[in-house]
Amino acid sequence: MEAEKCIGKRVLDWLRRDPVLAASCAAALLSTLFVPPSRAYLSYLDLRVLCLLSSLMVTVAGLKKAGAFAFLMGRILKVVHNTRTLSAALIGVCFFTSMLVTNDVALITFVPLTILMLAQRQRLMAFVIVLQTVAANLGSMLTPLGNPQNLYLYGRFNLSAGRFLSIMALPTAISLLLLCLALLWIRPEAVVAPVEAMPACPKAVLPWAGLFCVCLLAVLHVLPYGLALAVVVLAAAVLDRPILRSVDYSLLLTFAFFFLLIGNIKSIPAVSQGLSTLLNGRELTAGILLSQVISNVPAAMLLAGFTENYEPLLLGVNIGGLGTLIASMASVISYKLYAAQESARPGRYLALFTGINLLFLGVLWAAAALL
């Protein structure tokens, strides 16, 4: 009895730490009241998305532990001369690396470095971290690898890599231009000589780089996704078994719960038809607005089940990552990293975050509507 209580407490604590997981679990359980459990539930799961997401999370964790990202940032910092170029490097590396290693990984990796480099410039630090967050959310929208909603929609609508890039290239270019303009607000002042690049051991990085290529081939439909997952898991078990524990299993469970919820909703004819009619022609707006309250990953998964008009939906849930703090869960990561400092001013950060995000959101929403 005590053991059962202990397990129950751990589960509850886990759900409290991840409100999106808790909400998806509750919604999925509620949906079973209307659609009783059956073998059909298994068909709701998108195994391709779950396998690719697992493979990428393991591989990126391996690259990070091997020192690949620290080495990259160190090399970039060697060429900075003032606060503006330093800020450009810190923001730019989030923008470009997020295209391949996801927005949350980019922020987890590089925001702590910003806190270290700008410890004596608190006002500038908050501004740069906000722009890093915006950069990671916008840079990641260019590729299917950039964030979970892209990976899901890429597979859900069976898009080619070329088609995906053609949709997202112009909004990404506009985003980069806006970030460059934002840098003009930073006064160029002399900075202390940047830290030396941390050495990266090629022998440690090379195997993980090879596994990343395996993941990329699976994303591009060259390799079967099941084979890619098997190769990555087996290689990780040999190279560094603890890496397997670093996988965000709560994200995988969240996806599974949403697959279950969406499958059950689609099984209720009246609800499914109503949502399809309501969404028709409003995918861009629906994607942006729904992302503000439930974040863009679940918004993409929910809305994709009721429309085939993928282009405005893809734009909506990516641009919708801007706005509120919970519009993209990656934004919560950078906020927590900033707020953990003793000298942090969370209220000022949130005000700055909201103002900058709404400005970027307004410009990109207008641009997407024109597209």
Q: How far apart (Å, rounded) are the C-alpha atoms in residues 269 and 13?
A: 36
Q: Is residue 52 pLDDT above 80, yes or no? A: yes
CA distance 286 to 317: 8
- Inter-axis angle of helices 122-139 and 161-183, to 10 degrees? 160
- For the segment 264-289, the average pLDDT, to the nearest whole number, is 83
Q: Is it the case that residue 360 has pLDDT exceeding 90?
A: yes
Residue type, 51: C
User: CB neighbours of 262 closer than 8 A, spacing ≥ 6?
Assistant: 44, 301, 302, 305
pLDDT at position 283: 92
pTM of the predicted model as reported, rounded to 2 decimal places: 0.77
User: Average pLDDT in the 180-194 region?
Assistant: 82
% of the chain at pLDDT higher than 90: 37
Least confident of 163-167, 202-206, 354-358: 202-206
